[in-house]
Structure 1
Amino acid sequence: MEIKKRFPEDIEWSANLQVVVNVLVAEHHTFEYVLPIISDASPLEHLDSQFSNKESFDNELVKRAGTLRIVDINEDCYPKLATLRNKTVIVLYLLLPKEVIINIVKNWKEEGREIGTFLHTQYEEDEEDIIIALKNRFKGRYGSKFLYRPHSQLNIPMSTTSTIFIHKDFSRSLTLEAVHN
């Protein structure tokens, strides 16, 4: 198959085409669009894609990916972000509402996550700082204070042995990581 456009929108997949991949970068197409050609036997370690429906997050290939980079996602898929169990999840180019982030933290706290699990995203700013909102909601404690950014880190207990470490930076980026106490 030869693809002549840089980002073709109407690829006609050959009949019965199946590819086995460990890395799939489909930043300009939805996962649902490329799914028909991906073999179930793929040892998918890294997946970059757009997601247009929440059922896609229940697909075994998505669940199996160690690193999941979400380039675009429909708002009706936001609740699925809280349930992802991938080792690394990166949500690019989107400003998530505070309530979505609160739901993610709530799910991590209630269901736990493997140590080293990592989620990185950006968030919408409003009148209440995201770190303060999370601290008040989950009774977290501030992490190390930086002179230039006093409340940029937060620790929220997940269990007796693990904590959700949350860090924000100047660019409205937020990182959650499951760490040992």
Structure 2
Amino acid sequence: MKTHIALLRGINVSGHKIIKMELLRKVLSELDLDNIRTYIQSGNIIFESNSSDISKLEMQIAAKIEEHFGFVVPVTVVTPGELFAIINKNPYAKATLSDAAQPYVSFLSEIPKNDYLEVLKTIDFKGDAFISIDKTLYIWYSNFAGNSKLSNAIIESKLKLRSTARNWKTVLKLYELATAK
């Protein structure tokens, strides 16, 4: 069995697409997944599967959620190894944090095209910054993520791909949970 981490996009935000984690675990247990665990309410699922077909896992989880809850939820699945690489490549890892400064990781569905990245780089995000490495956008929010123009909607619209973001503490915790024995 291989461990995977599924990241659900846009659930339990501002009263929309509400999914209780206990029910989600029960619903996903109908799939060929084992040791299903969730972390906080934003849609972070750690599970084991015999499958290593990431696309198939994403589609199965998304289809099961739509079937049971009645709405579409984009799903991104990563492995602990991919999460380890993302953690080690973080260009903001040594940055000084303040109460307002927040590092985030945006998990992209594919490597963004350079032309689209250049368009995103032309926007003035008022002190917020990002660096693209592989299928990951490392984001530095200088004054709270919720106050930024560098939103997930802007990222998806300018890069023309799917994205879901997690704060740095969540990324570290997901890796810890996925690799715990």
**Fold match by TM threshold 0.5:** no
Greater strand fraction, Structure 1 or Structure 2: 1
Larger radius of gyration between Structure 1 and Structure 2: 1
More helix by share: 2
| Structure 2 length-normalised TM | 0.28
Give TM-score, length-normalised by structure 1.
0.28
Higher relative contact order (CA 8 A, sep 6+): 2
